[in-house]
């Protein structure tokens, strides 16, 4: 045992005192950092930026030491050495791609990048390379780039002089052990996206998922039917700008504009007299997918025998009605929950996904403020008539990741002061506070959007609702969703120009605020607001119609058993 330990110590000492392998170690360290570069700025990690980068640096040190040790250990085995070198070359290429993509475009190796590559042919690639180089040097001053190249070259060349010291062996392997522990810590604490730490696994996983999701989307596209009776669509364009904002997981009863005791909607509260606040809107399902199938088509909550693709779709309807259509989303384009909506909006004139394109792209989560730039571009676009659909990430779990640190207004103590049953711990109160802050952040997003249409001289409307609600320890020791967590906010804002030209509809809006209805029928409401007619319109499902009928609402395709509580 002692003899074996001595041999191992001699081998390790040789590695750490070999100039060539020390230089390779520095190279591996730099590439490994590139392979991790997109993680510190993502929502996968907690803590300040310095802590995040420190953890990634130690993990890169661990990877560099591991690669160098393996390469050195098999230096005399020709076949194994060739295989290891081939792996390292591929690994370094992946790391370089990850770094360049993150540096230039804000995302590394993800499903989004795989989709872009899959849709690019060889000619487009050759045409893209000069643009890529131009983007790179636009992002970094050529002089600074030259200085960096010189510094990196010098660090690689002079590394043996700096690192070959009496205690170099201990230093390198101590940092590697810290790096391994950092790696284990991240694996344990990352809520999702654990494979992002391994760039080779990331590539393999994202290629597989990209292929699989493209096949799924193709199957859904094959189900698509031709839009019926487009020639029968007519519109008087009573609203030139229609903004349809779909929130995420926002429960009605956590909005101060609906009576919640904490201030979660300060802006909406301040303009409440200008809003139509509907008190009794219920979502058609407890999951996003089921609701999106209804919100974006003529499928109603009680249409239990037909599939979503058998109905005409909202985007297509308004395209034929003479509107330029926009789909702006901070949710994924593809994945287990989003494939139907991606197909349903695929004919929009302008489609923008500001964050992840797949539910596996965990490093691409962004705050909903990322939607404001494309929204402002859309609302200022020259087309006279526009339908702008905005899909927020809203209050999607994990709540604390839905708003930046400076928007952390509501604290756990505030929750405990107004809601303190015996099972409400400080930790649970903190979760409620984070949920409330996410709703307050959505209020700030709506503020920007409403202000953008407030002073327009053309009639403009904004409709905001949430796809479904969520229970966050409301009256019981439970967090999640069930069939009672479908009460959602439903709010409409109309500007002065719309009020001026459509006084009859304004009167109907006031009269409808207490109506009981399902959000699945929102398409009929939007048609009335815009003055659009179509054979699929059903006046009994339109709360603005004199012939609207209150009925039993369905949730998840069965009658909602909580009607009597409303």
- Asked whether the predicted pLDDT for residue 464 surpasses 60, the reply is yes
Contact 123, 372 (CB under 8 A): no
Contact 449, 270 (CB under 8 A): no
Q: What angle do CA 331, 336, 337 make, to 5 degrees?
A: 50
Q: What is the pLDDT of residue 538?
A: 96
CB atoms within 10 A of CB 124: 9
Helix axis angle for 522-530 and 503-512, nearest 10°, is 160
Rounded to whole angstroms, how far apart are CA atoms 210 and 113?
Answer: 9
pLDDT by residue (tens digit) across 515-557?
999 999 999 999 999 999 999 999 999 999 999 999 999 998 8
Q: What is the pLDDT of residue 217?
A: 67
pLDDT by residue (tens digit) across 55-105?
999 999 999 989 988 988 888 888 999 999 999 999 999 999 888 888 776
| Helix, strand, coil percentages in the chain from 3-state DSSP, rounded to 5 | 55, 10, 35
* 273: DSSP letter: G
pLDDT by residue (tens digit) across 349-405?
999 998 766 555 655 678 999 999 999 999 999 999 999 999 999 998 889 989 999
Per-residue confidence band for 122, with pLDDT thresholds at 50, 70 and 90? low
Q: Which tokens sit at 463?
A: 């409709």
CB atoms within 10 A of CB 14: 13
Contact 399, 435 (CB under 8 A): yes
Longest dimension (CA), the chain: 95
User: Could you give the 3-state DSSP secondary structure of residue 329?
Assistant: strand
Q: Which tokens sit at 83?
A: 């295989």
Q: What is the pLDDT of residue 461?
A: 98
The H-or-E segment that residue 290 falls in is helix 288-295
pTM: 0.73
Q: Where do the H-state alpha helices sit in 363-418?
A: 372-379, 412-418
Q: What is the pLDDT of residue 282?
A: 97
- Asked whether the predicted pLDDT for residue 232 surpasses 90, the reply is yes
* Residue whose C-alpha is closest to residue 525's, from 484, 482, 490, 561: 490
Q: What is the pLDDT of residue 45?
A: 77
Q: What is the pLDDT of residue 305?
A: 84
Q: What is the pLDDT of residue 337?
A: 44
Q: What is the pLDDT of residue 132?
A: 57
Distances (CA, A) of 124 to 116, 128, 129, 130, 177: 11, 6, 9, 11, 44
Residues written for the chain: 566
Q: What is the pLDDT of residue 336?
A: 43
CB atoms within 10 A of CB 534: 20
Token pair 């999106």: residue: 292
CB atoms within 10 A of CB 101: 20
Q: What is the pLDDT of residue 124?
A: 47
């Amino acid at each position: 045992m002692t003899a074996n330990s001595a041999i191992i110590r001699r081998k390790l000492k040789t590695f750490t005192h070999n100039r060539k392998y020390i230089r390779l170690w520095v190279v591996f360290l730099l590439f490994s950092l590139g392979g991790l570069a997109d993680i510190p700025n993502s929502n996968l990690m907690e803590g300040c930026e310095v802590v995040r980068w420190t953890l990634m640096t130690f993990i890169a040190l661990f990877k560099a030491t591991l690669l160098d040790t393996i390469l050195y250990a098999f230096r005399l085995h020709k076949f194994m050495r060739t295989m290891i070198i081939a792996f390292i070359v591929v690994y370094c290429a992946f790391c370089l791609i990850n770094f360049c993509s993150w540096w230039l475009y804000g995302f590394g190796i993800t499903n989004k990048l795989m989709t872009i590559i899959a849709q690019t042919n060889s000619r487009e690639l050759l045409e893209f390379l000069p643009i890529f180089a131009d983007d790179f040097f636009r992002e970094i001053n050529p002089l600074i780039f030259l200085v960096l190249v010189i510094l990196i070259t010098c660090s690689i060349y002079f590394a043996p002089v700096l690192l070959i010291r009496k205690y170099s062996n201990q230093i390198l392997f101590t940092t590697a052990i810290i790096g391994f522990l950092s790696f284990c810590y991240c694996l344990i604490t990352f809520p999702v996206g654990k494979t992002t730490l391994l760039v080779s696994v990331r590539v393999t996983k994202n290629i597989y998922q990209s292929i699989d999701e493209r096949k799924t989307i193709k199957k859904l596209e094959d189900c698509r039917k031709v839009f019926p009776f487009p020639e029968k669509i007519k519109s008087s364009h009573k609203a030139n700008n229609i903004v349809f904002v779909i929130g995420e997981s926002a429960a009605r009863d956590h909005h101060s504009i609906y009576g919640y005791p904490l201030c979660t909607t300060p802006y909406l509260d301040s303009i409440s007299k200008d809003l139509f606040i509907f008190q009794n809107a219920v979502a058609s399902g407890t999951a996003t997918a089921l609701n999106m199938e209804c919100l974006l088509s003529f499928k109603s909550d009680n249409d239990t025998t037909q599939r979503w693709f058998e109905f005409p779709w909202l985007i297509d309807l308004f395209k034929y009605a003479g509107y330029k259509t926009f789909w702006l989303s901070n949710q994924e384009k593809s994945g287990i929950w989003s494939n139907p909506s991606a197909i349903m909006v695929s004919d929009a004139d302008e489609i923008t996904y500001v964050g992840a394109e797949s539910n596996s792209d965990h490093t691409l989560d962004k705050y909903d403020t990322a939607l404001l730039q494309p929204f402002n571009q859309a609302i200022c676009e020259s087309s006279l008539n526009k339908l702008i659909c905005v899909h927020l990430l809203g209050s999607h779990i994990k709540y604390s990741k839905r708003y930046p640190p400076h928007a952390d207004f509501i604290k756990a103590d505030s929750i405990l002061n107004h809601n303190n049953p015996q099972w409400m711990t400080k930790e649970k109160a903190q979760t409620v506070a984070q949920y409330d802050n996410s709703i307050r952040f959505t209020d700030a997003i709506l503020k920007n959007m409403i202000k953008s249409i407030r002073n327009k001289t053309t009639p403009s409307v904004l409709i905001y609702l949430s796809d479904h609600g969520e229970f966050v320890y409301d009256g019981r020791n439970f967090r999640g969703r069930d069939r009672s967590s479908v009460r959602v906010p439903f709010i409409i804002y109309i500007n002065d120009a719309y009020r001026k030209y459509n006084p009859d509809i304004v009167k109907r809006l006031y009269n409808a605020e207490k109506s009981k209805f399902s959000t699945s029928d929102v398409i009929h409401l939007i048609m009335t607001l815009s003055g659009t007619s179509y054979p699929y319109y059903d006046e009994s499902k339109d709360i603005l119609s004199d012939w609207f009928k209150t009925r039993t609402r369905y949730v998840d395709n069965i009658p909602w058993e909580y009607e009597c509580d409303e």
